[in-house]
Amino acid sequence: MPDSHFVSSALVVFLLSYLVGCTPCGFLIGKFNGLDIRRHGSCNIGATNVRRTLGRDWGLLCFFLDFFKGYLPVLVIGHGLGAATAVGFEWGGIFAAFGTVLGHVYPCWLNFKGGKGVATSLGSVLGVAFWPVLIGGVFWLLSFLRYRIVAIASMVAGVAMAFTAFVMRVAGNDKVHWPAVFLLTILAALIIYRHKENIQRIRDGKELAFGKIRR
């Protein structure tokens, strides 16, 4: 069984990261502009809906805020605090990444209804496994250029990151460890699950290409 000190340290890292992840950047940007982003476009607080509703600049700001909301807790809380406690550097990063993504997807301040976790997942995983994120980014771009649908690109990127991490680990690359593979697999599944409505619209031919406005 895990040591009690490990469990308590992991819980602290996870909860602190979760609270950071709960910061609803898209919602706050909407309020700054005098509207509730949850009542416009796809009714999501993520960067894609912010961009569609408020324009490119606000969408980019939301993306980078969500991205760094995932990246910084891994560095500061996961690797920093984790290394100073029983949870350790590696597992600290894993618990911090998982916590901040869950905070974004299920924020306690918004009745646990948040974004889809793509930008925050990218940021959090960057602090854990650099190369899988880079490969995932390439697949995101290629998929987006092919289909012009963010949902498809996001799901492809999530799967690509998990698969890349798995291949690197099996090949013996010491830059990716099994905890990171497990994390990326869970995040890929979470991203796909959070896009279940998009998947249905894609099947029905109703999903909008990037740049178009939902009325």
Q: Within 13 A of 100's CA, how many CA atoms are on the CB side?
A: 33
Range list of H helices, the chain: 4-21, 25-32, 47-54, 56-73, 82-83, 89-105, 118-126, 130-147, 150-170, 178-194, 196-204
Would you state the pLDDT for residue 55? Answer: 93
Would you state the pLDDT for residue 106? Answer: 95
Would you state the pLDDT for residue 64? Answer: 96
Q: What is the mean pLDDT of each run of 10 residues along the chain (215 residues)?
A: 82 96 96 94 90 93 96 94 89 94 95 92 91 93 92 94 95 89 94 92 82 49
Would you state the pLDDT for residue 206? Answer: 81
Would you state the pLDDT for residue 175? Answer: 84
Would you state the pLDDT for residue 50? Answer: 94
Would you state the pLDDT for residue 212? Answer: 54
Would you state the pLDDT for residue 23? Answer: 96
Would you state the pLDDT for residue 119? Answer: 93
Would you state the pLDDT for residue 1? Answer: 56
Q: Within 13 A of 186's CA, how many CA atoms are on the CB side?
A: 14
Would you state the pLDDT for residue 2? Answer: 65
